[in-house]
Structures are given as C-alpha cells and as structure tokens.
Structure 1
C-alpha cells in the first residue's frame, strides 16, 4: 500500500553524530514534500529547540511532535495539541533526588533532573554534553538546589521531565517511578543514559495517532523511523517500521517486524526514502 506520511525521530535517526541534519538528508526530505508525502517529526526534544533546528535545516514538516507527544504543532508552529504533567506530580518528581540512596546518612543524588516548562529548560546541574546537543538559542537555566525548592504553583505548563545519569542508576529510578506513578506517568529511555517522563498515555505512538486523525489518514499508510525505546510505540502501530542500525537492541527485539536500515551517521533514513520513493 502506498505510504502517505513519513514520521521520523531526530536524535540517532534524522540527526547525525553532530546533532545536525546533513544536506543530503535535507534534500531528500524536501523531495518528499514535492511528491505530496506528509513529513512529521517526532522527538523527545522540546519544541523551542526543535523549531530552531527546523529553521536551520530549512525543513518544512507538516506536523511536529515534541516531548514524546507532549506537544503537537503544525507546520506553521501553531499549537494543535498539548498534554501537561500535573503540577503536584512534577513537584513530587523533583523531590526524587533523595529517594534512591543513602550516603553517610545523607541522600545521594546520582542523576541530573531536567524540566521543560513551556519554552523554558530548567535543571539543577549543567552537563556540557547535554547543553551541546541543543541549539545555542535554547539555553538551560541552571538553578542548582533551588530547583528542588520549586512547588506546584511554579510548575504549571510542564510537558516533560527527564533524568540524565548512568544507565544502572536510571534503571533503578525508572523502576521506582513505575511502581509509584505508573497510573500518572509514562517513562521511557530515549538513550541509555536518558529517561523521558511525560503524562500517562502520552507517547510518540499516540502523537502519531492524533496527527493521523487530523490528516484523516490510516495508520497503515504511515512509515515510521526510529532508534530508541521512546520510538517503540509509533513503530508498532505504523504500516511500515524502520529501525536504525545504531538503534537500541532492546528496540529491535521489541519490534521484530521492523526493518533494520543504515545508521544515522550514514544518512540511513534518506537512503531508505530514496529507495522507497525515488528509485523507480
């Protein structure tokens, strides 16, 4: 059946190791638009950062799914759907710093907490590698311990909370969050060292469903590309599922029908799209 829409993740999928879209990939994506194929970006990144990347690469997506489905904008950057985490729940998540270990009687925090509050990025600690992965025009506000003093009244409009740390520590954190907040939160690994948390029911897959409804399109007409566990939900519902060579093995195991293609550093998405749409 013909593919009418292409949905692509950004990090590890569309973006290369320098967190940029190659000119070759950008040209292929523009060619899709000329063929009338809808282009949808779906990422765990927040919308202020994604908008900058889209401008820089001169992309023209029809829809932009950000924060793993927490926000959906159209191609004119107009808000279509929004899903926020309840402020009192965000406050509880901020307090998680003291729950996972004791060191000489004092709580030992082994991960960095990050909050997307509308167009703001708040964190307790600057991690240069994390900052470098975002556009310069989207700086983080480093609050230090003041982050943990924020209360629910300060935490309205939060569409994503994410934690950065060693994989083993984050596995413990994910298990605790799942036990404690499973009915209220959805937490997935977008990278082995990064957990994204959004409201329960908010996933890239449901974001794709929402966009398909707006476009009056069947999910079987959609092709999805991804590399991380936060892509699992959309890969499972798509008519065609493509997993990057560099994708997490856990994802390849979870979506056995997905076709493994080239890596993000080798323009794997663009090469597959050329094969699908431009080789005839």
Structure 2
C-alpha cells in the first residue's frame, strides 16, 4: 500500500494547456481524504510558482522543485536545498557554446534570462510566473540553483555532449523535456530528493508511488515501489524503464484515470483509457 504519491507536473499531472483538470484535482483530494496518502509535487518548476499553484488549489502537498534542488514542507518550511557548484555555474554561464538554444538561470529570486522569449511564458499561463531580463554574466555564481537551455532537441543533444565534456562530474545533465536541457547539481534529481523526503517522513521509497513523463523523472520512477510512465512520455524514458507500466495520455487526465481504478477496483487489471 502506497503511503506517499509523487507527481511530475508538465506532461503528467497537467493538461497540455498547463492547467490542472477538475477531475484530477478531485482525485487528488480523494487520495488525501479517503486513504490519507501524503502528496508531493515533484517538478522542475520554481517553488515561487508552485506555492502560487497550491494556493489556488486548496491542496496540501510537499514540494520538490527545481528538479530536486529544493524540498519544502506543506507549511512552507525549507527541508533541503542544493545549488550548482560555483565553478560549474561560472563555466556554463561564461562559456562559449556552439548552440542556438537560449540560456536560463534559476536561483531563489526566480527565473533569469537575457532576451525576451514570449513563447516560453505559455507554459506558465496558469500561474503567471515570468522571467526577469538580466545580464547573466553578472549574476553571483554561488547562488545558482540550476541552468536550463531551451531550443531544438537535436541542437540540445549536441550541446549536452559539449557540456558533458566541459563539466565532467561537476554537474548533472538531463532533459526535462525534448526542448529543455538542464544543468543540475551533482547527485541532484527528483529521485534523490524524494528519498530525502521519504526519510524525513519515516518512510522508505518502497512506500512511494510516482508518475512522470521525461528523463528528469527517471531516477524517481526507477527507485519507488510503484512507478508509472505516461503514455505521452519521452521515448527514451520508456526505453530505459521497460519494466514499468505505461498509462494513458496527460490530455485525458490519465493520472486521475489510473488512481480512480487504484482506489475503487484495485483487484481488477488496469487498462489505460
């Protein structure tokens, strides 16, 4: 029996328009009220944005944000933080990379970038979270939580090789979406963060279920007692974790569909919608 449920947001819990469906919200509340399941949102999004989202939902949940760089309690207490090594942050920000991708830096103040890219705000229409235009090279390198590059997937794949060669084992690289490559602190991912949260709650990872769709969910899905992959997930994630069940598409609120089956008819074989 799962006691903690962790959910990725984009491509998993949220609809393609980046809103949370009413059916999904009702199902999450059922988990809390009927089974006393502890909820955790595990996302690449910033904690400032997620606090706003939770405030509009009237839903108690732990927050794993920045792809595991921060963990906050339901009351907003900071339980864990990890930043990029200053030398790694400096190397990435000041480096000359052969890429067309845009660079975005995150720290506790928010989302920082150098050029207006309005289309990137579409994913944040639900919360109103926005970037601030900043000279990235002037930022304190000891206060960088993570760095993201957004652009064409093939371009980002080539960039990942460049970054890997330059950074070695001083940072962790992963795709949080086909068009988003992230540079994270060493050992920092949703799986390690969920492990820290589980220990804080007196649980083990076997007590957890988790849902995700991208490579930044890989460690989390592979380490919990019950990991579930979205039907719309990245092909590489499905290939890397072939033993995990695949449910339906986020556009059909597949997480709610699966959990309703888990709550009401757990003795029957589940079939995606």
Identify which of 126, 131, 150 aligns with 1:140.
131
Higher strand fraction: Structure 1 or Structure 2? 1
- After superposing on structure 2, the runs of 4+ consecutive aligned residues of structure 1 that deviate more than 3 Å are none
* Match status 1:197 vs 2:183: yes
1:105 match? none
2:17 match? 18
1:178, distance to aligned residue in structure 2 (A) = 1.5
Distance in 2, Cα, partners of 1:136 & 1:126: 19
Matches for 1:21-40 after TM superposition, within 5 Å:
21-34=20-33, 35-40=35-40
Matches for 1:166-181 after TM superposition, within 5 Å:
166-181=152-167
1:40, distance to aligned residue in structure 2 (A) = 0.9
Question: Aligned to 2:169, what secondary structure does the other structure show?
Answer: coil
Identify which of 187, 197, 211 aligns with 2:173.
187
My pick for the range that moved more, 83-92 or 188-197, is 83-92
1:136, distance to aligned residue in structure 2 (A) = 5.2
TM-score, length of structure 1 as denominator length? 0.90
Gaps of 5+ in 2: 267-273
Question: Aligned to 1:114, what secondary structure does the other structure show?
Answer: strand
* Match status 1:92 vs 2:91: yes
> Deviation digits for residues 45-95 of structure 1, max 9, x if unmatched?
11111111122222211x110111000001112110000112332122112
> Deviation digits for residues 21-52 of structure 1, max 9, x if unmatched?
11110111011111211111101111111111
Note if contact 2:83-2:146 (Cα within 8 Å) is conserved in structure 1. yes
2:249 match? 263
> Deviation digits for residues 185-209 of structure 1, max 9, x if unmatched?
1111011110111101001110111
Distance in 1, Cα, partners of 2:49 & 2:111: 10
1:158, distance to aligned residue in structure 2 (A) = 1.7
Question: Aligned to 2:39, what secondary structure does the other structure show?
Answer: strand
1:104 match? none
Distance in 1, Cα, partners of 2:63 & 2:52: 12
Note if contact 1:13-1:244 (Cα within 8 Å) is conserved in structure 2. yes
Distance in 2, Cα, partners of 1:79 & 1:231: 22
1:252 match? 238
Note if contact 1:91-1:150 (Cα within 8 Å) is conserved in structure 2. no
Distance in 1, Cα, partners of 2:154 & 2:185: 24
Matches for 1:71-110 after TM superposition, within 5 Å:
71-96=70-95, 98-100=96-98, 109-110=99-100
* Match status 1:66 vs 2:65: yes
1:137, distance to aligned residue in structure 2 (A) = 4.1
2:269 match? none
Distance in 1, Cα, partners of 2:57 & 2:164: 37
Identify which of 98, 108, 120 aligns with 2:110.
120
Distance in 1, Cα, partners of 2:59 & 2:170: 34
TM-score, length of structure 2 as denominator length? 0.92
CA-based RMSD:
1.4
Note if contact 2:40-2:63 (Cα within 8 Å) is conserved in structure 1. yes
My pick for the range that moved more, 49-58 or 262-271, is 49-58
